Chains A and B, each alone.
Chain A
Amino acid sequence: MSAWKRFLDRFLLLDLFAGLAITGRALFRKKETVQYPEERLAPAHRFRGMFRLDEERCIKCNLCAIDCPIDIIYIDWHQELNPATGKKEKKLDRFDIDLQRCMFCGLCEEGCPTEPKSIWLTTKTYELATYDRWQHLYANKEQLEGWQGRPAYTDEEIAK
């Protein structure tokens, strides 16, 4: 930079005006804000959110509980005679996930040997906040199965 230009630059504050121009242009640009409760971003297909369990598919192998790095899955089952087939089958007594500690790493889903998976996280549900800490945070078998993987608000609820 020549001395003359440096001198001019010192007094004309060109660098400052360049910055002002950038922010000034942003004034008229499209805004990036997503107005959350009204507008929602759709989670990706692989998004790891709330759990869902399918008891029919589950073979009660305990692999998900073993694979969990923080041991928050508790499974109890008993053998029961199925009168239709005359064979003994495992019946799930308890399938609890301590969601307060879950870090949604997805290793339980990865460890599940059934095809399709009996436990999966891709329910696209991320609104897990509750007013009562035991309401959803400690998911038991019924809650996990009853959970339909729907968004926390239905369209009618949003419209309201």
Chain B
Amino acid sequence: MIPGVSGVAAVLPFGLEALRAAAGDTLFYYALSPALKILALLFLAILPVITYLVLAERKILGFLQVRVGPNRVGPWGLLQPIADVMKLLVKEDTIPSRAVRWAFVLAPCLVVAPALVIFSVVPIGPPSATPGGLSGFVTDIDTGVLFVIAVATIGVYGLILGGWSSNNKFSLMGGLRAAAQMISYEVPQGLALVGPLMLAGTMSMVGIVEAQRDARIWYVVPQLVSFFIYMVAGVAETNRNPFDLPEAESELVAGFHTEYSGMRFALFFLGEYANMIAVSAVATTLFLGGWLRPFPSVAWLSPLDVVPGAIWFALKVFVFLFVYIWFRGTFPRYRFDQLMALGWKWLLPLALANIFVTALVKLWLAR
């Protein structure tokens, strides 16, 4: 019997309770429950959100461009993602004859998997009030932020491998661009995260949100600069306009996924959108107070607390996603060398200066 678990059984839904009784507490709390959460998160939250994000992007882009976007499949085009997925699933999957097969097959998986793994440490709701109850995250590890940065880095291998193994010059150039871009933007992105970490004094994602609650302010206010750097680097890291160089369709045809078709292409697509959501989710957690309601310190807004934390979280993430799409609808694309210059010459010094200033202020406050 795990301490503190007794009496929790009432909280669990009946089916889960039966499962717990059958499997035993240890197995249930350490293996089955996380596995169920992961599956639920993946198939009930992330994948549907991604597919509908694609629809939302097409709709919003359409509205920005004075047209209506997809509206033929189902009412307001609501079934469009399903049609898209069906089409991609049944489409012929080609592998170029001189491609390096194993790398070509591996690359899309390497893009998708890390993007999905990030969600395991992102808290979409508060920890359960009662110990052992359902908390709003899959796991809360002490080095959560570090884990996010580390896992996000793996995604670049997928792009490089995909670009290189296709045996296509455009793909190769796209892969090289992706590698250079992601490496150079990971540095300012990582450094931008140091600011909130210093304020919170913890690397746990849950801990950071709780620190914001205790500090009674979202970290976007004291860390505006690092928020800005994180956003720019995040757009660059997810290869979105105006930094969508690796797949710049007017320059490199389709960049690293020129030769991909069918479900393999869909995986790249999935990876890109999962990354978008992941970056937005991390930004929400670190800068916009995660599941907290707006203005957590203002008492008369407390009626807003009836809205579950997960809803607040989703709303904040959607704001980020909307801004992503808005950028795509507005800006031209940077050139490769300009992009690198922006990253190394502007964002990196700015991030370092931000850390320095934050440290000074923190020291001065602690004095």
Touch test A–B (CB under 8 Å): yes
The interface of chain A, by Cβ under 8 A from chain B, is 16, 19-20, 22-24, 26-27, 29-33, 35
Bound state CA distance, A117 and B64, in angstroms? Answer: 47
- Contacting pair B68 A27 (CB below 8 A): no
Interface 9-mer from B76-84, B127-135, B180-188, B326-334: B326-334
Across-interface contacts of B327 in A (CB, < 8 A): 20
CA distance A27 to B63 in the complex (A): 5
Report Cα–Cα, A20/B327, bound state, in Å. 7
In the bound assembly, the distance between CA atoms of A22 and B71 in angstroms comes to 24
Cβ of B67: which chain A residues have Cβ within 8 Å of it? 31-33
**Chain B min CB distance to A148 (Å):** 30
Alpha-carbon distance A47/B90, docked complex (angstroms): 42
Residues B63 and A19 in contact, CB atoms below 8 Å apart = no
Instruction: Tell me which of B60, B62, B63, B326 contacts A20 (CB under 8 A).
Output: B326
Known pairs A16-B331, A19-B330, A23-B326. 16 more at Cβ < 8 A? Answer: A19-B331, A20-B330, A23-B64, A23-B329, A23-B330, A24-B326, A26-B64, A26-B65, A26-B66, A27-B60, A31-B63, A31-B66, A31-B67, A32-B66, A33-B68, A35-B68
Q: Which residues of chain B are within 8 angstroms of A19 by Cβ–Cβ distance?
A: 330-331
Q: Specify which chain B residues have a CB less than 8 angstroms from the CB of A16 in the assembled complex.
A: 330-331
* B68 touching A31, Cβ below 8 Å: yes
Closest 9 pairs (CB-CB, A-B)? A23-B64, A23-B330, A33-B68, A33-B67, A19-B330, A27-B63, A32-B66, A31-B68, A23-B329
Complex contacts, B66 vs chain A, CB 8 Å: 26, 29-32
Cα(A31)–Cα(B65), bound, Å: 8
C-alpha spacing A41/B334, complex, angstroms: 39
Hey, which chain B residues are within 8 Å of A29, CB to CB? 66
- Chain B residues closer than 8 Å to A27, beta-carbon distance: 60, 63-64
Task: Chain B residues near A26: list those with CB within 8 A.
Answer: 63-66
Residues of chain A lying within 8 A (CB to CB) of residue B63: 26-27, 31
Report chain A residues within 8 Å CB of B68. 31, 33, 35
- What distance in Å separates the Cβ of A11 from its nearest Cβ neighbour in chain B? 10
Cα A24 to Cα B66 with chains together (Å):
11
Interface residues of B in 111-154 (CB under 8 A from A): none
User: Closest Cβ of chain A: how far from B106's Cβ, in Å?
Assistant: 38
Q: In the complex, how many angstroms separate the beta carbon of B155 from the nearest chain A beta carbon?
A: 27
Q: How far is the CB of A26 from chain B (nearest CB, A)?
A: 5
Q: Which residues of B contact A20 (CB under 8 A)?
A: 326-327, 330
CA distance A29 to B63 in the complex (A): 8
Alpha-carbon distance A138/B356, docked complex (angstroms): 79
Give the distance in Å from the alpha carbon of A29 to the alpha carbon of B329 in the complex. 15
A35 to B71, CA, bound (A): 10
Instruction: Closest A residue to B67 by CB, please name it.
Output: A33
User: Inside 8 A of B326's CB, which chain A residues have their CB?
Assistant: 20, 23-24
**A-B pairs with beta carbons under 8 Å apart, 24 shown:** A16-B331, A19-B330, A19-B331, A20-B326, A20-B327, A20-B330, A22-B330, A23-B64, A23-B65, A23-B326, A23-B330, A24-B326, A26-B63, A26-B64, A27-B60, A29-B66, A31-B63, A31-B66, A31-B67, A32-B67, A33-B67, A33-B68, A35-B68, A35-B71
